[in-house]
Chain A
Amino acid sequence: MKMKYLISTAVAAVIASSAAMADGFPERPINLIAPFNAGGGTDLLLRGLAPHFAEAIGSEVFVSNMAGGSGTVAASALQGQRPDGYQLAYMSITVSTIQPQIKDVPYGLDSWTPICSVAASPTLLFVANDSPFQTAEDVVEAVKAEPGKYVYGSSGPGAMTHLTTVAAFAGLGILDDMKHLPFQGSGPAIKELTAGNIQFFGDTEALMQRGDFRPLMVFNDTRLENFPDTPTATEVGIEAPLNELYLWGGLFAPAGLEPDVTAKLEAACEASVASDGFMEFANNSGTVINYRGAAEFDAFYRAQYQSNSSLIEAAGL
């Protein structure tokens, strides 16, 4: 009898305390970690989101930067932390699904509690405006005629820009006849595209508009509003899973976060992404908002992790 009483009070206490924990959440400021340098795209997006996220969650929110190793340093550091919901990282497709499959990092598929996705932009394959190539067929013909002559650039090995060009040229069956020239970041790469040292590059629409460039195909399920004459990769004849590529990103907590806390963070994320202030920010910065809730984002993230392995194989990484 006494034992029973003890157990039941103990259980009640545990339930009460965990409920109290979720009830009380958040009791202190929440840290949003940008795994890249201050001033970069990810950092700016987080700084644009943070004030609205703070308002929605009812607590202070601050952004910190932990750059290095293509985002893997921050992810590796977060992976070992206690899943209390006070530390979240904004991770992109490459940090969460590509890097752990090509590098010996201490995190992997099951290291995270996905909270929400925030943005997703399809990528495009593009050339300089004065390039002789008008269609994907032109490219195939020219590359087959002179194997080893043409060069495609990337912002670094394993980056989204690299995977875009690999998807395009592997899909067209000419990857092995071309040369890959990696740069450090998209800036130097688009300079060389302007100068003519590389002939092809792949990135998002926002970046493509930085220069005098022309798209050849878009890795989206439909054609883009701004480029109605540019075919999708599927139309060009590229098959799944190489035909759709999105530079997506969202908030992740370490695995094992309490469902109640996850739900609170998810709700705050949804409200802040939908806020007028963030909408205006997204509009100015060319961010394509793409919100997914925790359950949906979890399924999406896991599916992406699997399907990206074929891309990684094609890239020879």
Chain B
Amino acid sequence: MLSALPEAIGILLSVEGILVLVLGTVLGIILGAMPGIGSTVAVAIVLPFTLTMGQAPAILLLLAVYAGSVYGGSISAILINTPGTPQSAATCLDGYPMAQRGEAGIALGWATVASVVGGLVSAIVLIFAAPQLAAFALQFGPIETFALILLGMTCIVSVSTGSVVKGLMAGMIGIFLSTVGGDPILGEMRFTFGNWQLFAGFNLLAVVIGVFALSEVFIRASAPISRVSDLVAFNGIVLPSWQMWKGRLRNLTKSVAIGNVIGVLPGTGAATAAFISYAEGRRSSPNRDGFGKGEPDGIVSSEAANNAVTGGALVPTMALGIPGDAITAVMLATLTLHGITPGPKLVEDNPTLIASIFAGFFIINLLLLPLGMMLSRVAAPILRVREAFMMTAIVILCAVGIYFVRGNPFDLLIMGGAGFVGFLLRRQGVPMAPLVIGMVLGPTLELTLRQGLILTDGNFLAFFTDHPIAMVLAIAALLALSLPLWRGLLTRRAA
């Protein structure tokens, strides 16, 4: 494949190649920043345009939009506390407090650099280690995935600002919401009360937007009108200097690694990676005490991990023909339309195409930096409007985004309901991030638990005694849960 690289670079440096890379990335960043659109829909929007393109440009356009949208989600997360995509929900936790302190520019700077590093490393890993990593992904059956999700669930404790009990409550609400709709094993309907609108369950994006963005609007609307006209002081991205990275590089490295590994495993995804990485940062970062109050390490943990997932998710897609997530599934479908059969022989049979895809993916991640800075400068004046206008605009943007995705007015009701309930819960000090974690991880937790029980004939202990990887992950989950308790005991004794 590497021998095909010169020819591949020729494709990338053609007029069409450059246009596709730049425009695709710009479009991806914008769509990702729009609340409610999400990466999957962003990719689907450009899909019809790829039908008339050549093989390599078609896939590159999808990749550019994909990587751009994952990064773009962080912009609205930081500036208006609205995660453009669920994978940016963890970015809100520290990004928005920083923006409120007037450090929006530098917060976005951290997010941008972390995203670029995460994406670039994942591109390099993809180019050099795809076959080996794909073999590793095959080791992850339902039981191993269950153990990984269990570890992910322990994040609830670390993102529960204030009260852990309230955080756990929110997590349980999230898991409960995820059980509405079709039973994944038996196909029967649960908690739908005969209403077909609920057959598909609650729309995850509608709930995420509701509890983060709408509830924020409600909270501001219920507060006295502020005299200050601008919400957050923002004049474009400010990149963190080298000195500011001191003591943070370890956290960056760890986050990139977490994103890469989780990306490779089918059935998990960027939101899971961002939360697990955030929890790990909160556990091990030297700056952990500031997490949740506007600590750059929190942004770095989340953003480096979710962008590293993009390259990771391409590993099983390219090496095995198995989509790593919903977005890579769209890419596989596009390959098929261009007369290419995805599968284990994909790389062998199409060396030039794959080389240009891999090299193009690397360039796309480089482009995130200048294009992100440019776009944020364009966005800056928009944020200087009066608070009332801004809040109205947020509500409209969220509503349009949510309606656009499935064309179903019922989703707007869900969003509104989630916003109101989120508002009531937040006023009682219940954090919303655990609710989102419960909803994101809940379906996979249930599916893999029940799949595992089918495979082991109902023997839960065999999950761990027969599966060493699951055992290790379960022990890690136990440690993650008990370490804060242990630390708490130690400090109490010291005091």
CB-based nearest B residue for A103: B189
Residues of A within 8 A of B316 (CB): 191
Q: Is A293 an interface residue (CB 8 A)?
A: no
B196 and A106 contact, CB distance less than 8 A: yes
B189→A284 contact, CB < 8 A: no
| Min C-beta distance of A213 to chain B, whole Å | 9
Q: How far is the CA of A38 from the CA of B322 in the complex (A)?
A: 18
Cβ-defined contact, A286 with B336, below 8 A: yes
Q: Does A3 contact B (CB under 8 A)?
A: no
> Cβ of A39 and Cβ of B186 under 8 Å apart?
no
The answer to whether B184 and A38 touch across the interface, beta carbons within 8 angstroms, is no
Residues of B within 8 A of A185 (CB): 329
Residues of A within 8 A of B185 (CB): 157, 182
Say yes or no for A47: interface residue by CB 8 A criterion. Answer: yes
User: Does A64 sit within 8 A of B, measured CB to CB?
Assistant: yes
How near does chain B come to A54, taking the closest CB pair, in angstroms? 13
> Which chain B residue shows the least CB distance to A68?
B200
CA distance A38 to B182 in the complex (A): 20
Which of B40, B320, B341, B447 touches A184 (beta carbons < 8 Å)?
B447
Closest to B138 in A: A195
Complex: A43 Cα to B326 Cα, angstroms: 14
The smallest beta-carbon distance between A184 and chain B, in angstroms, is 6
Distance in Å: Cβ of A45 to nearest Cβ of chain B: 10
Interface segment among B215-223, B242-250, B451-459: the answer is B451-459
**Residue among A38, A47, A76, A285 making CB contact with B199, cutoff 8 Å:** A76
The stretch from A17-25, A204-212, A238-246, A298-306 touching chain B is A204-212
How far does the Cβ of B4 sit from chain A's closest Cβ, in whole Å?
23
Q: Assess whether A250 is interfacial by the CB under 8 Å rule.
A: no
Decide: A188 and B187 in contact? CB cutoff 8 A: no
**B333 near A209: Cβ-Cβ < 8 Å:** no
* Cα separation A115 to B184 with both chains bound (whole Å): 32
Once A37-B44, A39-B330, A211-B321 are accepted as A-B contacts, the answer to whether A197 and B344 lie under 8 Å apart by CB is: no
- Does B337 interact with chain A (Cβ within 8 Å)? yes
Complex alpha-carbon distance, A174 and B270, angstroms: 41
List chain A residues, Cβ under 8 A from B138.
Answer: 191, 194-195
Cross-chain contact B199 with A69 (CB below 8 angstroms): yes
Interface residues on A, range: 35 or more
Query: In the bound complex, how far is the Cα of B476 from the Cα of A65, in angstroms?
Result: 41
- Contact A184/B184 with A38-B330, A69-B199 known, Cβ cut-off 8 Å: yes
Q: Are A187 and B200 in contact (CB under 8 A)?
A: no
**B102 at the binding interface (Cβ < 8 Å):** no
B 299-340 contacts with A by CB, 8 A:
316, 320-323, 326, 329-330, 333, 336-339
Q: Which of B43, B194, B339, B344 contacts A39 (CB 8 A)?
A: B43
With beta carbons under 8 angstroms apart, the residue of A44, A179, A181, A194 that contacts B320 is: A194
Report whether A151 and B455 are in contact in the complex, using a CB–CB cutoff of 8 Å: yes
When C-beta atoms are compared, the residue in chain A nearest to B338 turns out to be A284
Report A-chain residues with C-beta under 8 Å of the C-beta of B45.
38
B residues in contact with A215, CB < 8 Å? none
A181 to B257, CA, bound (A): 32
B482 at interface by CB-CB < 8 Å: no
Determine whether B197 belongs to the interface, using a CB cutoff of 8 Å to chain A.
Answer: yes
Contact A69 B141 (CB under 8 A): no
* CB-nearest residue of chain B to A41: B333
Whether A72 is near chain B, meaning CB under 8 Å from some CB there, is yes
B211 at the interface (CB under 8 A from A): no
Cα distance A210–B317 in the bound complex, in angstroms: 11
Q: How far is the CA of A38 from the CA of B44 in the complex (A)?
A: 6
Question: Taking the nearest CB of chain B, how far is it from the CB of A176, in angstroms?
Answer: 15
B333 touches A69 (CB 8 A): no
User: Is B407 in the interface zone, CB < 8 Å from A?
Assistant: yes
Known: A73-B196, A157-B186, A212-B344. A39 touches B142 (CB 8 A): no
Within residues 11 to 47 of chain A, which ones have a CB less than 8 A from any CB in chain B? Answer: 37-41, 43-44, 47
Q: Evaluate contact between B266 and A210: CB separation under 8 angstroms.
A: no
- Distance of A195 Cα from B344 Cα, bound (Å): 13
Pair B336/A191 contact, Cβ less than 8 Å:
no
- Please indicate which of the listed interface residues A72, A73, A211 has the most CB atoms of chain B within 10 Å of its own CB: A73
Give A261-317 interface residues, CB cut-off 8 Å to B: 281, 284-286, 317
A10 at interface (Cβ–Cβ under 8 A)? no
Nearest 7 pairs of A and B residues by beta carbon:
A68-B200, A69-B199, A38-B44, A157-B187, A39-B330, A76-B196, A195-B138
Can you report 12 residue pairs joining A to B where beta carbons are below 8 Å apart?
Answer: A38-B45, A39-B47, A47-B51, A48-B51, A73-B199, A181-B451, A184-B447, A190-B322, A194-B322, A195-B139, A210-B322, A211-B344
* Residues of A bordering B, CB below 8 Å: 37-41, 43-44, 47-48, 64-70, 72-73, 76-77, 102-106, 148, 151, 156-158, 179-185, 187-188, 190-192, 194-195, 197, 206, 209-212, 281, 284-286, 317
